[in-house]
Structure 1
Amino acid sequence: MFFELVRRNSRRNRKENGLFFGSLLVSIIAFYIVLSLSQQDVMYFLREMESDAVNRLLEMIPVFYGLTLVILFFLIYFAGKFQMERRRHEFGMYLMMGMRRGRLFAMLLAEDFGGSVIALAIGLPAAVLLSELISLVTARVVGLGIIGHRFSFSPYAVALTAAGFLMIKLAAFLILSIKISREEIGSLLAERPEETKRQFPAAVYAVFLIAGVLGLGTAYYMAIRGISWSRIDRMAFTVVIGFAGTLCLFFGLRAVFGLIIRAGGKDRKLHVFNVRQLQENVIRQSSAMAVSSLLILAALCCFGAGIAMVRHYGDDEHILDYTFTAEYMDEENTSRKKADETMSTLRENGLAHEFSDFIEMKVGSVRTSDDPDDTYSMDVVMNLISAMPATEDRDILLNNLSYMTYPHLIALSSYNELLDAAGRPKIELGEKEAAVYMDTDVSTEALRQMMNEALTKRPETLLDRDPLYLTGEVQTTALVTVRSITLSFALILPDEAFDYYTQGEYNIFVDAILGNREESVSLMTAISEMNAKLNETGLEYESYLQNMGRQLFYTVATSYITIYLAVVFLIVANTVIGVQFLMNQQKTNRRYRTLIRLGAVYETLCRSAGKQINWYFGIPTVIAAVSSIFGVRALFTGILSSRTMGSVSEMMVVSAAMILLLCMIELIYMIVVKRLSSRYLLTLMVPEREE
């Protein structure tokens, strides 16, 4: 009988609290995925290329795990308190019928443990499958192609997930059950009166509303301008004033509700009742709603910034597999001899045939002038760009070009070989013509578009006082795999002009492309095997994957950690909002019963509750969504390098799209809460028996 009662109560609790149970499942999945990060295919590869950075990342995982446990403890405690409050009368009846308090405690403990086991039984297998999917998707996103994937299962992650989850569930249960067990039977059976809070004049709420807007505006201004990131005390001040501004904003929303009541609406049915309900709930729970909005804001910022950075770091084009570095010497023919020695060494070791193509990339500087500050002049280009509409990108481009008085030079034949390997049309240049090269790592799409617009005019420039006309479009195909060599601006010249201006003194980088490999062999495997062979030759080289390792670290770190935090924050915020609304609805059940006696039908009550839920979720979500635009921009100011800051505009577009996508998840929570609310309202439709 006892175990049947436990089973029936557990099933009923899961059914009535589907929102909370679903949040627990997502939490378990998030726990396992972040704890099993070291087992991912990409992480195995990163350990070889960036072992120090990866180890530091993995050392941070327990910190995130511990922080998440603390956050989820409060979520479980808050949701558990709602369940206990809802069942107060039931507990009182158990005691009235002779159940001992110890047996009641055992029953509740069995219910809680059984629900936790079911959540783990569902969540852990789902987490393992999702972890495998994420491993494959991440490898695809970062450009590794087909990887020899192997199924990974982390007993360590399973054990730690289960232990942490059961620990915080047990801790929350013990605290709540002790409180319940100390209450008298009469207190449990009695219905609690509605809470009331002191009301202030409308002018007071208006002042708090204005103060909140000013506080948030100040915080975002300091963060976006970089003031907050300069010193720790300024960052602390920004966080405090932003938090205080959010609290004031929500506290002052009562003034807005007063205006809504006076404005009315087309559908007057229960309009004032709905607004009054929201008004009281916001006043009663303004602090909790403000914290929930901040959690949603944190989720939106983490998700928006994380995905944007993943997209940015994962956009590199892959053409070259290897670059054999040249000697950086000015002596004539030194680089030529180095390139010949490289090819000779490859042939001697029987490795030359394993490459499908070799490209001698010739890069040099102007040797016909001794004045690096006045070797190259492009006043016409500067004037054309200055005439364009005034924007931040235009000013950045003008500032960058003002320093290009001593440009790098690229031989046309070398670059055309690279384009041919990439399957692109070759460049054709006249005797006094040149093409512009701008590396994508140090230039944005917006800057290159403005430069292309200027190049359509075929502007005249001066190279060592000789006229040179810029033509075509900006070229961006990477010259080498060595990421430390990035040219923000260079001129592609015909070979005759290149030889003249470099005076035969230039660097030669031997680029190589691997031959066709079997479909079963991944790019990672092929290059790893070739690295082992090249290491025996003594040649200096850098591979695509060696530099990809650095990119992968940023991609994996930002994607896993930020998305993990976004999921946790979003779960906590939405569950708190949903549980709060349902608690408030039950505390004000007498009002709904009065409406039923006055003739309100079930459909009308459901529509009324639905409108309240729309507002109750919508207010913190809209405020968080608007704030997240500024928050993401502030994050970019603080965490992006100066080289990457040029891509902020493109990254903000991606962030905005991700924020919009995440806001759609709010609709799912709203639908779930509406169903739970309708189910509760249905129970109120049964007439009460009056003695």
Structure 2
Amino acid sequence: MTFPQFVYRNVVRNKRTYSAYFLSSAFSVLIFFVYALFIFHPDIKQGVTSAVAVQLMTAAEVIMYLFAFLFVLYSVSTFLKSRKREFGILMMHGMTRSQLNRMVFLENMLIGIGAIILGIGAGIITGKLFLMIGSRMIGIDSLSFYLSFKALLLTICAFLILFFCISLFTTILLRVNKLIDLFQAGEKPKKEPKASVLLSLFAAVLLLLSYYLAATTTMGTILFRILPVIAMTIVGTYFFYTQLSVFVIKMLQKNRFFFWKKTNIITISSLAYRLKDNARMFFMVTIVSAVAFCAVGTLASMNIMNKQFKDDYPAAISYTAMDDQPVQQQNLQQIKTELNNKGIPYTTSSAVIKNVEVASENTGYRYPVKDIDIISFSDYKNIAKSAGFDVHEKPLTGNEALAMLYSHNQMEFKPVMYTLKQDKIKLNAKKLSKNVAIPFRAGLIVSDELYKKLKPVKTNTFTGFFTKDFEKTAGIAKKLAPEGSSYFSENHHYEIQVSGTMYQNQMNMFKTMLFVALLIGAVFFIAAGSFLYFRLYADLDYDRRQYLTIKKVGLTDQELNKIVTQQLALLFFVPIVVAFVHSAFAFMALQSYYSLSIVSEMVIVLASFLIAQLIYFFLIRYRYLRNLKKTLI
């Protein structure tokens, strides 16, 4: 038997241990290849949305590649630690250090090349399906299957370099100790796990503080808190597994009533060692899973922005004229003609926006406000009613004012006082208007009496076209807004927003980002499952000896099933539950960014991941029990 044949058979014999790592690597190659198919597809280069989709997928390629590098490196290093006994046997039979390095290098390359072939093969088979789904989500015509040579070459070269570098790196890190140490690697009695009370308390304080900061986050503080909260959560999670979890187990062991009940003595004692031995693995699974949950959840929550779109853009088409040139009336007539040609019923409402000079203000802005836009309460009321909103505000009198709500996602409002240059009129805006009148235009709403008295520096005329089915306005007024749905013309002095086109672009963008996030989230989640799988099978020999000893003193099959199920459930679900808790508080912070509730979207995302984890758990439990019982018969 030649040396390459020996390497090949060595990998095949350990296929059970390597299977999750191999399939996860192949899945990473598959998703990387699918992204490359999109990036290099000749029909996806046109349009603003398509260009952004290419940029997002290029960024996803980089994220995927970096994660794949870390995943493969961690996996290979874990396998090497679990094979010390095997290395001892080989060296006892005459294998040299250079041959051992060569064997490890060839094994890694063999698995890597196999993963590349399987991943690309699966990508070619399923490529058309991914292109169909992706094209629908991006909002372009159905993409025909196109096998790009560049996509193929990029995937092969990228992952060949990845597996080659890691294979070379692991041979450098491979430590060969004395033969007796290699043989006793799995036989040495483990030291009793210990936990520091101070570090356990430190972990609890960090996690509780990060949860409190996340739960009390507002739109004004979210940008300042996000990095400290993430840092505290990561550090707190690490010490949670290495210290706090062991401390809790020790406390349970002191509870004699609970600890000595039935099989709890075996489950809890074994759990203490598993938590300590697998702390780093639990930490990685938790962080990777939390990233996957948050990525998909954040993108899913963006659907709320689409739900509140009608509230942010009350008019299907908003046209603001900056002067009284004849072209303004021509533009408005053009919009009316296009609406009539499409058979879209509509109503119009107008408002004259007065721009007045400000003498002083106490808004707290870094730069002083020189002027401000003002509309009358009657115009605000008419616009709101045309959009189908209820006007809850009482009519303004005297110098009362309302700050115009320009978006439901605007920052926290603080009462402001403006002193106008005209007669030193003071306008005290204590509240925001309940509805958006003119999208993304900050200003004030004043009483009709005061509005008539104001002498503006300049005036703008807003005209809103209102219809129940604003989505049908997509594509209208293309000539007036050549750069997109929202456009400002310096030459013709007008602003225009077409809600239908904006909504279509926003939905396409949302679907594209969700498509990218779902694929990345799937890779992260499968990788997290792989960590658990090969950690479980790395301890299989030790578990066999342990359960065989216990069975000799009367352990029944039913009790064995119960113990194994409990330990596997803790192994699989402790990191996931912790990741769920992290994600839940992250979503609470995210909620501050939206005026509508995102609870339903978050529940769907977390429930989907939980169902996937349950399916994976029962599959692995069945296989693990079957392999375990083979040696106990």
2:242 maps to 1:253: no
Unmatched segments (≥5 aa) in structure 1: 372-402, 417-426, 428-439, 445-473, 490-504, 515-522, 687-691
Q: Specify the alignment match of 2:364 in structure 1.
A: none
1:640-679: per-residue Cα shift (whole Å, max 9, x none)? Answer: 5xxxx213x1x23201220121122222342344345335
Q: Specify the alignment match of 1:295 in structure 2.
A: 288
Task: Work out the CA distance in 1 between the residues paired with 2:605 and 2:505.
Answer: 25
Q: Specify the alignment match of 2:111 in structure 1.
A: 115
Q: Specify the alignment match of 2:122 in structure 1.
A: 126
Unmatched segments (≥5 aa) in structure 2: 357-374, 391-404, 410-433, 446-459, 483-490
Q: Specify the alignment match of 1:452 in structure 2.
A: none
RMSD of equivalent CA atoms: 5.3
Q: Give runs of aligned pairs for residues 371-520 of structure 1, distance below 5 A.
A: 405=377, 407-408=379-380, 442=407
Task: Work out the CA distance in 1 between the residues paired with 2:128 and 2:610.
Answer: 26
Structure-2 change in CA distance of 1:78 and 1:652 (3 Å): farther
Contact 1:335 1:507 (8 Å CA) reproduced: no
Task: Work out the CA distance in 1 between the residues paired with 2:100 and 2:120.
Answer: 30
AA aligned to 1:670 is F
Normalized against structure 2, the TM-score is what?
0.69
Q: Specify the alignment match of 1:501 in structure 2.
A: none
Task: Work out the CA distance in 1 between the residues paired with 2:614 and 2:7.
Answer: 33
Contact 2:347 2:467 (8 Å CA) reproduced: no
Structure of higher RCO (CA pairs closer than 8 Å, 6+ residues apart): 1
Task: Work out the CA distance in 2 between the residues paired with 1:315 and 1:127.
Answer: 38
Q: Specify the alignment match of 2:145 in structure 1.
A: 151
Contact 1:219 1:241 (8 Å CA) reproduced: yes
2:299 maps to 1:306: yes
Structure-2 change in CA distance of 1:308 and 1:547 (3 Å): same
2:363 maps to 1:364: no
Q: Specify the alignment match of 1:569 in structure 2.
A: 524
Structure-2 change in CA distance of 1:124 and 1:278 (3 Å): same
1:278-334: per-residue Cα shift (whole Å, max 9, x none)? Answer: 0122133334423432222222222222222256448869xx9x9887562686998
Q: Secondary structure at the match of 1:364?
A: strand
Task: Work out the CA distance in 2 between the residues paired with 1:124 and 1:315.
Answer: 41
Task: Work out the CA distance in 2 between the residues paired with 1:532 and 1:406.
Answer: 32
Q: Secondary structure at the match of 1:646?
A: coil
Normalized against structure 1, the TM-score is what?
0.64
Task: Work out the CA distance in 2 between the residues paired with 1:364 and 1:295.
Answer: 52
2:278 maps to 1:285: yes
Contact 2:345 2:467 (8 Å CA) reproduced: yes
Structure-2 change in CA distance of 1:30 and 1:236 (3 Å): same
1:376-423: per-residue Cα shift (whole Å, max 9, x none)? Answer: xxxxxxxxxxxxxxxxxxxxxxxxxxx99455355899889xxxxxxx
Contact 1:257 1:279 (8 Å CA) reproduced: yes
Q: Secondary structure at the match of 1:243?
A: helix
Contact 1:210 1:249 (8 Å CA) reproduced: no
Q: Secondary structure at the match of 1:365?
A: strand
Structure-2 change in CA distance of 1:312 and 1:134 (3 Å): farther
Contact 2:350 2:464 (8 Å CA) reproduced: no
AA aligned to 1:280 is Y
Contact 1:366 1:409 (8 Å CA) reproduced: no
Q: Secondary structure at the match of 1:125?
A: helix
1:9-58: per-residue Cα shift (whole Å, max 9, x none)? Answer: 3333333433222322322223233444435799545x43585x567646
1:51-108: per-residue Cα shift (whole Å, max 9, x none)? Answer: 5x567646644542453244223333244325534xx33x444455556665555555
2:213 maps to 1:222: yes
Q: Give runs of aligned pairs for residues 49-88 of structure 1, distance below 5 A.
A: 51=51, 57=56, 60-61=59-60, 63-81=62-80, 84-85=83-84, 88=85
Structure-2 change in CA distance of 1:227 and 1:157 (3 Å): farther
Of 203, 209, 212, 1:212 maps to: 203
Q: CA deviation at 1:581?
A: 3.4
Structure-2 change in CA distance of 1:39 and 1:365 (3 Å): same
Q: Specify the alignment match of 1:22 in structure 2.
A: 23
Most deviating of 654-663 and 403-412: 403-412
Q: Specify the alignment match of 1:495 in structure 2.
A: none
Q: CA deviation at 1:209?
A: 4.5
Q: CA deviation at 1:335?
A: 5.9
Q: Secondary structure at the match of 1:579?
A: helix
Of 229, 241, 249, 1:238 maps to: 229
Q: Secondary structure at the match of 2:350?
A: strand
Task: Work out the CA distance in 2 between the residues paired with 1:42 and 1:223.
Answer: 43
Q: Give runs of aligned pairs for residues 185-196 of structure 1, distance below 5 A.
A: 187-190=181-184, 192-194=186-188, 196=190
Q: CA deviation at 1:277?
A: 0.3
Q: Specify the alignment match of 1:621 in structure 2.
A: 576
Task: Work out the CA distance in 2 between the residues paired with 1:601 and 1:412.
Answer: 73
Q: Specify the alignment match of 2:11 in structure 1.
A: 10
1:110-167: per-residue Cα shift (whole Å, max 9, x none)? Answer: 443333333222222333555543443355456x4x8343224344343333333333
1:238-285: per-residue Cα shift (whole Å, max 9, x none)? Answer: 333222322333322234324544365699553211110001221333
Of 575, 578, 595, 1:646 maps to: 595
Equivalenced residue count is 550
2:271 maps to 1:271: no
1:454-501: per-residue Cα shift (whole Å, max 9, x none)? Answer: xxxxxxxxxxxxxxxxxxxx999xx9xx98699999xxxxxxxxxxxx
Contact 1:105 1:177 (8 Å CA) reproduced: yes
Task: Work out the CA distance in 2 between the residues paired with 1:315 and 1:545.
Answer: 14
Q: Specify the alignment match of 1:48 in structure 2.
A: 48
Q: Secondary structure at the match of 2:147?
A: coil
Structure-2 change in CA distance of 1:78 and 1:668 (3 Å): farther
Contact 2:136 2:142 (8 Å CA) reproduced: no
Q: Specify the alignment match of 2:39 in structure 1.
A: 38
Q: Secondary structure at the match of 2:595?
A: helix
Structure-2 change in CA distance of 1:139 and 1:314 (3 Å): farther
Task: Work out the CA distance in 2 between the residues paired with 1:557 and 1:190.
Answer: 53
Structure-2 change in CA distance of 1:162 and 1:48 (3 Å): same
Identity of aligned residues (%): 16
Structure-2 change in CA distance of 1:568 and 1:633 (3 Å): farther
